Amino acid sequence: MAAALTGRVQGKVITLDEPLPPLEGRRVRISVEPLSDETPRLSDEEQAELWRRWVDRGPQGSIEDEGERTAEIDRLYAQLGELMAQIQNGGGNGLEEQIREQFRRLRQLQKEEADALEARFQEQSQLQPGEGRTALERARQIIRDQEPPTTDPPA
């Protein structure tokens, strides 16, 4: 028997609009989706704030910084290529210092990028408080659900 019910979600609690059919002790599948007419609308200010926070601290770090850093690295590679071509064509007077400075900046940007990547990896690889226990309890439940019922006679 399948039943589609509606209700409201508040934190971890779902309050149904009507009582459940008798399902005591049975495994059930719960699917939660917003009703289109009840979808909350954000104000322009709320949307702008959420976007700003996403740009600053998205799930993989800042969008802005990484794009600017990557673009600068790309520019440095292009400029270094041009300077190296000038040196190979015999016009290398005084370019060595400029090349050294650009290599120094390139190494600095690459180190920042590697550090940011490592920090994101560390952040994403750590369990949030309670996640370890939740995963362990879920694994135990799966094992219990897959075990055949015991048919041992009473002792």
Q: Is residue 135 part of a domain?
A: no
| Residue partners of 112: CB distance under 8 A and separation at least 6 | 69
Identify the pLDDT of residue 106.
92
* Cα–Cα distance, 5 to 27 (Å, whole number): 17
Element (H, E) at 123: helix 95-125
Mean pLDDT score, 91-108? 86
Contacts for 3-10 with beta carbons within 8 Å, 24 or more apart? 6/35
Residue 129: inside a domain: no
Number of domains in the chain: 1
Indicate whether 82 belongs to any domain: yes
**What mean pLDDT is predicted for residues 99-113?**
91
| Domain range for 80 | 57-123
Helices vs strands, H then E, count in the chain: 4, 2
Q: Is residue 114 part of a domain?
A: yes
In a domain, 88, yes or no: yes
- Quickly state the pLDDT bin for 64 (edges 50, 70, 90): low
pTM attached to this predicted model: 0.42
| pLDDT for 56 | 66
